[in-house]
């Protein structure tokens, strides 16, 4: 069966520090991968999606970047965090060629102080 | 934007009652999906209804879709305490799911 992992689960970082959040998927090949951010009490905002290694599409201009160095690995990064980067970051995957049902990871709670 | 907008924002019901929430969107879609999120957790896919479908059932869930009104509804019948969660609709046109702010459902024992 397929599983999706995210780490860390929680993170507290100072303003201006770098960020690296990792997401890995097991049990499937060539998945579509997604990064979302959820502000407190809000819906999810799609940040990045990827249909293959090295293929990243950005949805909104921001202080973040994403990379996909391996088929089932998706990394969210920042060189210098802003206060507004605080939120709940969710990684998700869907079957190659389909953007229907998405399977979400447990999320990372990021607090920037 | 095809972003879904759920209504009401919050709903409190007694265990055993039905819960109904609505979703509106603005552009054409291929399908519309509903997800559930328990507090502080990831989202779980509940049901997908295609643009050419009008109603779909899955267990205690019933989803309707009216593309002429650009609206959908999710009905949870015979609610249980475990149904306490936030529910999101996500209209989809291609790769992108556009989530609204959700409906927070509280089921009282």
Give per-residue pLDDT as tens, B18-63.
Answer: 999 999 999 889 999 999 999 888 999 999 999 999 999 999 999 9
Q: Which of B86, B104, B92 is nearest to B3 (CA)?
A: B92
- The residue written with tokens 């509280």 in the block is B106
Those of residues 35-64 in A touching chain B at CB distance below 8 A are 36, 41-46, 49, 51, 59
A5 touches chain B (CB under 8 A): no
Instruction: Give the nearest chain A residue to B42 (CA atoms).
Output: A106
For chain A, 113 residues long, give each residue's pLDDT as a single digit of tens. 889 999 999 999 999 999 999 999 999 999 999 999 998 877 889 999 999 999 999 887 688 999 999 999 999 999 999 999 999 999 999 987 776 789 999 999 999 99
Interface touch A46/B100, C-beta < 8 Å: no
Give CA–CA dist B28/B26, Å, rounded: 7
The two tokens of residue A97 are 């060629």
- Measured in angstroms, the CA of A36 and the nearest CA of chain B are apart by 10
Q: Which of B67, B9, B96, B7 is nearest to A44 (CA)?
A: B96
Interface touch A41/B97, C-beta < 8 Å: no
User: Do the bridges between strand A10-13 and strand A108-112 make them parallel or antiparallel, or are there none, so unpaired?
Assistant: parallel
Residues of A in contact with B94 (CB under 8 A): 99
Give CA–CA dist B41/B64, Å, rounded: 26
The two tokens of residue B30 are 């291929």
pLDDT at B2 exceeding the cut of 90: no
Residues of A in contact with B3 (CB under 8 A): 43
Closest Cβ–Cβ partner in B33, B48, B99 for A44: B99
- In sequence order, which residues have a C-beta less than 8 Å from that of residue A113 and are 6 or more positions away? A12, A13, A14, A15, A83
Q: How many cross-chain Cβ pairs, A to B, lie less than 8 Å apart?
A: 55
Task: Supply the pLDDT for residue B62.
Answer: 98
User: Does B8 sit behind a cis peptide bond, omega within 30 degrees of 0 on the bond before it?
Assistant: yes
Terminal C-alpha separation, chain B = 38
User: Which of A44, A48, A107 to mutate: most B Cβ within 10 Å?
Assistant: A44
Interface touch A43/B88, C-beta < 8 Å: yes
Residues B45-59: b if buried by 16+ CB within 10 A, e if exposed: bbbbbeeeeeeeeee
- Measured in angstroms, the CA of B22 and the nearest CA of chain A are apart by 15
Report CA torsion sign: B81, B86, B92, B94: negative
The two tokens of residue B40 are 């502080």
Task: Supply the pLDDT for residue A39.
Answer: 86
């Amino acid at each position: 069966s397929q599983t999706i992992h995210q780490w860390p689960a929680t993170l507290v970082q100072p303003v201006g520090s770098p960020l690296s959040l990792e997401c890995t998927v097991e049990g499937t090949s060539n998945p579509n991968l997604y990064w979302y951010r959820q502000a407190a009490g809000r819906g999810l905002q799609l940040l990045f999606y990827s249909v293959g290694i090295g293929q990243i599409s950005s949805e909104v201009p921001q202080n973040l970047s994403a990379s996909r160095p391996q088929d089932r690995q998706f990394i969210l990064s920042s060189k210098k965090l802003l206060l507004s980067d605080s939120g709940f970051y969710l990684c998700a995957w869907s079957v190659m060629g389909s953007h229907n049902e998405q399977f979400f990871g447990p999320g990372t709670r990021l607090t920037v102080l | 934007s095809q972003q879904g907008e759920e209504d009401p924002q919050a709903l409190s019901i007694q265990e055993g009652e039905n819960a109904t929430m609505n979703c509106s969107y603005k552009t054409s879609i291929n399908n519309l999906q509903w997800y559930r999120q328990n507090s502080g957790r990831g989202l779980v896919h509940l049901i997908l209804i295609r643009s050419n479908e009008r109603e779909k059932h899955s267990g205690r869930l019933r989803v309707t879709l009216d593309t002429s009104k650009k609206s959908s509804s999710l009905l949870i019948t015979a609610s249980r305490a475990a149904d306490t969660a936030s529910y999101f609709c996500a209209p989809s046109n291609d790769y992108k799911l556009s989530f609204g702010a959700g409906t927070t459902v509280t089921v009282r024992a």
